[in-house]
Amino acid sequence: MQGVTVTLQKGGVGKTTVAINLAERLAAAGNDVLLIDVDPQGSATDGVGFDDVYVADKYLKHVLDEQDSTSPEDLIRTVSGPNSFDLIPSNKKLQRVSHELYEAENGEAEFYRRIVAPLRATYDWVVFDSPPTIGPLSNAAVVATRQVVVPLQLSKPSADALLRTVTNQLFALNRRLSGYDPIEVLSIVPNRVKGDNEEKHVLNALENSQFESYLPPFTRATAYESSGLGPGIRERVAFRRSYREGVPLAAYDSSADMLERFATLADVVEKESRASI
Ligand SMILES: Nc1ncnc2c1ncn2[C@@H]1O[C@H](COP(=O)(O)OP(=O)(O)OP(=O)(O)O)[C@@H](O)[C@H]1O
Ligand SMILES: [Mg+2]
């Protein structure tokens, strides 16, 4: 199994949108995919139509509890559709898991051992949606998958958040877990791009920064010239509508132009992936 966590220490940039649609496109490419929602807000759970299980009695806390017989398999739901994939939902009480991981001596290792490892033979890919704040839940997902995708908007606050995330989360985890292979960025994904001059300025700065190598071709300024669409994931009302309907973009509109971009992202993620987990 391979894994990826969608992370950025900033709210509302499109983490959940990217996690859902990346999972869906990885499934469309023929993979068995599991999406795990470790954001206590439960947006990914909601966004694939499982708002009802957000209030279920059993959730990840029970899987982590040695005294409880709940297995990760017990929590799995299936997101139906032409490219079906599975979901382990969030829960309205998920913040408790954050506290427990914080208190535990080796919370990240326990999280991997009890939640991820039992599913290794079942799935080709596990995709984590993470909360906008760096904390035990986000760290546990990043440590479990060892690889991240970073969505951002082409704005100064997002670029600052990228630097913050790399420094305060990825480098900090690499330092703390120095015996392991370093955590890798598979792709930075500019999202909600409209094509104004401020965005061009920020993209240009990214292309000339230490983060340049994480920008796949479809995210680059040259994509302004090579396709009529412009680079990155574009601002499209269909994303908000599909979220409201509780389905991935492909199930909402199979002819949406951004599906191809997500297929490219899935391709990049598969090609760049290094870690079997
Ligand atoms: N490319 C896009 N075009 C239009 N709307 C988008 C796009 N991407 C995301 N959105 C919308 O923007 C809002 C925030 O997106 P999303 O929930 O994916 O962000 P997030 O980073 O997961 O937020 P949070 O930090 O709260 O978890 C949602 O309403 C979503 O539908
Ligand atoms: Mg989210």
Counted residue by residue, the chain has a size of 277
Question: Which residue among 240, 241, 245 has the greatest number of ligand 1 atoms within 8 angstroms of its CB, and so is best to mutate?
Answer: 240
Query: What's the confidence (pLDDT) of residue 206?
Result: 97
Query: What's the confidence (pLDDT) of residue 222?
Result: 87
> What is the spatial distance between Cα 78 and Cα 87, in angstroms, rounded to a whole number?
6
Ligand 1 surroundings by CB, under 6 angstroms = 11-17, 39, 41, 43, 132, 191-192, 233, 235-236, 239-240, 243
Query: What's the confidence (pLDDT) of residue 227?
Result: 73
Nearest residue to 127 (alpha-carbon basis) of 212, 9, 241, 17: 17
Vertex 53: Cα angle to 47 and 57 (nearest 5)? 150
In the block, tokens 């985890």 appear at 173
Query: What's the confidence (pLDDT) of residue 32?
Result: 98
Residue nearest to atom 3 of ligand 1 (CA): 235
CA of 192 to the centre of ligand 1 (A): 8
Ligand 1 atom showing the smallest separation from residue 192 Cα:
1
CA of 38 to the centre of ligand 2 (A): 10
Ligand 1 atom showing the smallest separation from residue 18 Cα:
18
Q: Give the containing element (helix H, strand E) for 22.
A: helix 15-28
Residue nearest to atom 29 of ligand 1 (CA): 240
Q: Which CATH number fits domain 2-272: 1.20.1260.10, 3.40.50.300, 3.30.9.90, 3.40.50.720?
A: 3.40.50.300
Give residue-wise pLDDT tens across range 214-229: 999 999 998 767 778 8
4: left (phi over 0), alpha (psi -120 to 50) or beta: beta
Nearest ligand, measured from the Cα of 45? 2
Nearest ligand, measured from the Cα of 236? 1
**pLDDT band at residue 275 under the 50/70/90 scheme:** confident
Give residue-wise pLDDT tens across range 121-135: 999 999 999 999 999
Nearest ligand, measured from the Cα of 13? 1
For the chain, the structural domain boundaries read 2-272
Nearest ligand, measured from the Cα of 133? 1
CA of 119 to the centre of ligand 1 (A): 28
pTM for the whole structure: 0.98
Beta partners for residue 173, in sequence order: none
> What is the spatial distance between Cα 195 and Cα 64, in angstroms, rounded to a whole number?
45
CA of 80 to the centre of ligand 1 (A): 22
